[in-house]
Structure 1
Amino acid sequence: MREFSLPALYEVPADGNLTDLVRRNAAQHPDVAVMARKVEGGWQDVTAREFLAEVRSAAKGLIAAGVGPGDRVALVSRTRYEWVRLDFAIWSAGAVTVPVYETSSPEQIQWILGDSGAVAVVVESEAHEKAVESVRDRLPELRHVWRIDAGALDELAEAGRDVPDATLDERGGTAGADDVATIVYTSGTTGRPKGCVLTHRNFFAECGNVVERLKPLFQTGRSSVLLFLPAAHVFGRMVEVASVLAPIRLGCVPDIKNLTDDLASFRPTLILGVPRVFEKVYNSARAKAQADGKGRIFDRAAQTAIAYSRAKSSPGGPSLGLRLKHKLFDVLVYSKLRAVLGGRCEFAISGGAPLGERLGHFYSGIGFTVLEGYGLTESCAATAFNPWDRQKIGTVGQPLPGSKVRIADDGEVLLHGEHVFTGYWGNEAATAEALSDGWFHTGDIGTLDEDGYLAITGRKKEILVTAGGKNVAPAVIEDRIRGHALVAECMVVGDGRPFVGALVTLDEEFLARWAAEHGKPAGSTAAQLREDPELLAEIQRAVDDGNAAVSKAESVRKFRVLPSQFTEEAGHITPSLKLKRNVVAKDFADEIEAIYRG
């Protein structure tokens, strides 16, 4: 058993809540731009004084609507300025925010709103409103539905016009540091999302220590960050709160479809993203170079950047020849790549999935340092990250200051600290399984070196984490796909990959019947029919049914029909018919690669 800890750098307030930060900013930095609202043609800054006023007007509307202390209010929206404003307004009304991914299916929305007992929900679009309305008869506690693109914020402001300031001030102070700030639903192996309870103290400990340890990245009046992660994801939420705590200028965009243009117009000094974003920037730049006939130059520049980064940490540093090559490519290639990232950015923080040494060294080599970290919803996002001044590429860094990381005898990573969640909402059994003597059992396998740098080497649990950082519980969609008569077994794949895929085996008994009904040769086997267009269309219908139960990010985009069954004899399944995923993944590695090829 090995353990490592660092002293806290930030003193968590003995009492108070996150709304104190908004009031403090307005008092200490009234004219500093702490937010930026995306508008046609550019960005509109929002000062600390203006942000406080907008938060208060929305909070008064919630109070006027009857939202009380401790009530749960759900948010179903893409990442946008209104999300942040509403989050702090909900807290200012003394309530609890329940974020919901905007890609969630009606079934998922119904479960999260029902399980949390949400009394109100703010949705972004008509599609979200229809999804809520389709399950509203199963949500007896839900009293209000507001829609952002139908004027929800104006409606709340008008409704709260007569609420006295004193009433709002009193309500904003009702929550203490140990009261619930949010319930973030995270996938579990059972398939039913569990509500992870995070307190105001959790966020103070998390964000305060992140900001203090990475102080050069969080400079008031100079630093800015562009948030393009889902605000419903705990990593995105950490970015939001840390930006307000610092404070630094925060801009929001709903996705990465126009990321290059958004970076160019916003010009952040700091980016927080998932590996898929950094892969996308690299791949796009390489593809453009190849299209312009400069592919060989780009590849040589990339190799030089990686070699230069590796050499920086070796005795003697980069050789003279390597330094000269690096200087040449800085003019030809690296400076242009930095311009793509906005031109002002020097650092990024990557989390949600492993970044990989190649990309880490590439970005470091072009003068843009990606600090990799590690965390979970239960740890309020980052529980370890690389310090800006002592990076070890290939690790996820040292523990959050004020916390402890322990490697159990079986290699499991255990966490302890004020940032660790208090339990799962209404689920004592799951809480008892995850928390023992104040230590959270992550289900991940890792190692700690002599300097306390953590490396994640595997996963005990079956949850997949895509390259985009999305947690995917295989059981839900696998069970639905297996419900089709033609399907014998299904295994979802996608850990560290850009999207979710699936391996499917065919039920031999039903296959014979299906083949006869569709005029296929008698005795046709799975190996013979696995590429048959009619059969693939039938399996696609099974996959579509499975996808209906999950969000878009969790849905299966491509699948492969296998020529043979998963068998106990081959070691693919246990006597109780449970999949041995690692064995299947090894034996069918080529089939998995075929899903992602091209």
Structure 2
Amino acid sequence: MREFTSPPVASAPPVGGLADVVFDHALEDPLRIALGRKVDGQWRDVTSAEFRDEILALAKGLLAQGVRFGDRVAIMSRTRYEWTLFDFALWSVGAQVVPIYPTSSAEQVFWMLYDAEVSACVVEHEDHSMTIGSVIDRLPALRRLWQLDSDAVGELRAAGEHIDDEVVHRHRRAVMPDSVATVIYTSGTTGRPKGCVLSHANFMYEADNVITRWEPVFHSKRGDEASTLLFLPLAHVFGRMVEVAAVRGRVKLGHQPNLNAAALLPDLAAFRPSFILAVPYIFEKVFNAARRKAENDGKIGPFDKAVEVAVKYWDAMEHKAFGTGPGPSAALRVQHQLFDKLVYSKVRAAMGGRVRHAMSGGSGMDRRLGLFFAGAGVLIFEGYGLTESTAAATANPPEQTRFGTVGRPIPGTTVHIADDSEVWLHGGHVFQGYLGNPKATNETLHDGWLATGDLGHLDEDGYLTITGRKKEILVTSGGKSVSPSQLEERVRDHPLVAQCIVVGNDRPYIAALVTLDADSVDHWLNMRAKPKLSPTDLVRDPDLETEIRRAVVAANTLVSQAESIRTFRILAHQFSEEQGLLTPSLKLKRKAIEQAYEAEVAALYRA
């Protein structure tokens, strides 16, 4: 199949912008719990009316401090309650928000603030203020800087006390669907980041179609309160769409700034969301932590058996959903029920206990991992999208989830596969273009069609599978074209592996660099009574090399011999964003990695 369209189930409103829904909800149901906010270590409910009042007061302060309709204001912070306040307050006065990753370097910050001609900036803490201070002499348009940890919200509320509410409402009524809501800079795996211009209509069209189609999955059971804990970075389009969709869809929203398990798991237990949205990395972490605990408790055999049962159970359920099988056998159902009490309930408890559904995006998720979670009682809907498509363009439907694919086009979207297998997208969520960059816009947008740069194919039911990136195709010196992504993802399935990058462009064969997951390696050493080793000694351990070789052999089963990984090298340290080797969304910067590890790559090809 070369093209598939899903008809829309919602349309963007003919007038108004993203902030309107906050005021509408407060008028319709002022006492409804709209958000959860963590104060002094405790979660406190925020009603629709309280949320509106905070946004109105903040919007008045922004006007008092000189923010005007159409101004671009940057936010540089981790995911926290105040980010959402500023988003909706800025949208209330017709300003355009420019999100900045909190880990961005001074030069990255400079480029985004300069390119977007940002006039004011909100930062989280003093370190961010110092980062901007180091480049402020090159930013003539930047006039204001507010710091969240120095009570920026209180300062602005006080500044706007003398302004009448109606002044904000006049600004808000002037916002139209085609007004610019935000300029989000791409991660920039190659070259300088480009500013994606997204309108209020883009977000409303995307959010309302997703909400209408997937609304039943927001609840853990029929009729309960829908809630989600947002721990994705709000600087990324995925996190931003979660924020907008939760507010528009009357889903109670909480914020968690830390992605590490030590901080995240306690808040999942305390907030108890009914569903979560994450990247595959989070689900891999939950699974690997559960498996390590089982091994520590001497129960690895039963755990691995429970995994097999879960995978077989949901594989049978999937076949039944598509009419290609009868579903799980009676014996498999009995086994599944037994392991639900022994294993699966504990996996669900690690995510707060109420989660029955989740959405995953950002990168590909292994089919087997998806089947396991579904069999364990958490059905994950994998999707696909880009900043340029305002997050999701495809997602698996609730009633027919096909693991290993990124689903069908979301309502209102058409997916087309070009002659060279590039994925093209069309719909009301496709962006307006790149800020101040008509050349890049014309290369990407063609009569409303977004050329994604991703390669993929549609099956007979309209389900999309992503097979790689056009720019990442490796061509060996023998002329063999190889897509590295599926090899890398399969190697990463091994719990000891943190990252894998496949190399081989203009080389005689394919090879790989592999980094290690520290927690899994520590556990692996403990279980084998091995001493703690230095990173340099660790990568030379023959038993560890054998384990990684198993991961490589498993990956090679996916491809022909000419496309297989012939050799690999284990690195002592992971690739990091601080080194300039990862994007803020944790994607590999291939050219930068190959340059940084030039000697290691060369060693892979020595006779």
Q: Common fold, TM-score beyond 0.5? A: yes
Does 2:363 align with 1:353? yes
Contact 1:306 1:362 in 2 (8 A): yes
Does 2:451 align with 1:437? no
Q: Residues of 1 paired with 2:583 and 2:414: CA distance? A: 35
Alignment CA distance shift 1:338-1:551 (3 Å): closer
Listed as ranges, the matches of 1:329-348 within 5 Å are 329-348=339-358
Pick one of 243, 246, 264 that aligns with 1:240: 243
Gaps of 5+ in 2: 320-324, 475-483, 505-538, 541-571
- Displacement after TM superposition at 1:335 (Å): 1.2
Match of 1:270 in 2: 275
Does 2:458 align with 1:448? yes
Q: Residues of 2 paired with 1:57 and 1:206: CA distance? A: 28
The SS at the match of 1:405 is strand
Does 2:328 align with 1:318? yes
The SS at the match of 1:547 is coil
Q: Residues of 1 paired with 2:294 and 2:107: CA distance? A: 44
Alignment CA distance shift 1:397-1:504 (3 Å): closer
Alignment deviations for residues 526-547 of structure 1 (CA, whole Å, 9 cap, x no partner): xxxx99xxxxxxx99x999953
The SS at the match of 1:362 is helix
Q: Which moved more, 1:74-83 or 1:160-169?
A: 160-169
1:52 is matched by which residue type in structure 2? R
Contact 1:218 1:247 in 2 (8 A): no
Alignment CA distance shift 1:21-1:358 (3 Å): same
Does 2:414 align with 1:409? no
- Displacement after TM superposition at 1:461 (Å): 2.6
- Displacement after TM superposition at 1:391 (Å): 1.0
Alignment CA distance shift 1:111-1:221 (3 Å): farther
Alignment deviations for residues 75-104 of structure 1 (CA, whole Å, 9 cap, x no partner): 000000001011101111210000000010
Alignment CA distance shift 1:557-1:283 (3 Å): farther
2:48 is matched by which residue type in structure 1? A
Contact 2:577 2:583 in 1 (8 A): no
Alignment CA distance shift 1:298-1:87 (3 Å): same
Contact 1:504 1:561 in 2 (8 A): no
Q: Residues of 1 paired with 2:259 and 2:98: CA distance? A: 24
Match of 2:432 in 1: 422
Q: Residues of 2 paired with 1:57 and 1:463: CA distance? A: 51
Q: Residues of 1 paired with 2:80 and 2:297: CA distance? A: 35
Alignment CA distance shift 1:86-1:448 (3 Å): same
The SS at the match of 1:401 is coil
Alignment deviations for residues 177-233 of structure 1 (CA, whole Å, 9 cap, x no partner): 001000000034642000000000000110000000002134697100000000000
Contact 2:311 2:368 in 1 (8 A): yes
Contact 1:504 1:562 in 2 (8 A): no
Match of 2:536 in 1: none
Alignment deviations for residues 343-392 of structure 1 (CA, whole Å, 9 cap, x no partner): 11110000000011011100011111000000000000000001112211
Does 2:44 align with 1:34? no
Does 2:150 align with 1:150? yes
Alignment CA distance shift 1:436-1:125 (3 Å): same
Alignment CA distance shift 1:335-1:78 (3 Å): same
Does 2:298 align with 1:293? yes
With the length of structure 1 as denominator, give the TM-score of the two structures.
Answer: 0.80
The SS at the match of 2:267 is helix
Q: Residues of 2 paired with 1:557 and 1:122: CA distance? A: 32
1:290 is matched by which residue type in structure 2? E
Match of 1:50 in 2: 50
Does 2:171 align with 1:171? yes
Q: Residues of 2 paired with 1:549 and 1:118: CA distance? A: 25
Q: Residues of 1 paired with 2:364 and 2:578: CA distance? A: 31
Q: Residues of 2 paired with 1:278 and 1:436: CA distance? A: 36
The SS at the match of 1:375 is strand
Listed as ranges, the matches of 1:66-81 within 5 Å are 66-81=66-81
1:385 is matched by which residue type in structure 2? A
Contact 1:448 1:455 in 2 (8 A): yes
Gaps of 5+ in 1: 465-490, 506-529, 532-538, 567-583, 589-598
Give the share of equivalent positions with the same residue, in percent: 50
Listed as ranges, the matches of 1:199-598 within 5 Å are 199-218=199-218, 222-257=225-260, 258-314=263-319, 315-462=325-472, 496=489, 547=580, 553=586, 562=599, 565=602
Contact 1:503 1:562 in 2 (8 A): no
With the length of structure 2 as denominator, give the TM-score of the two structures.
Answer: 0.79
Contact 2:467 2:485 in 1 (8 A): no
The SS at the match of 2:471 is coil
RMSD, matched Cα: 3.0
Contact 1:32 1:221 in 2 (8 A): no
Work out the number of aligned pairs and report it.
Answer: 512
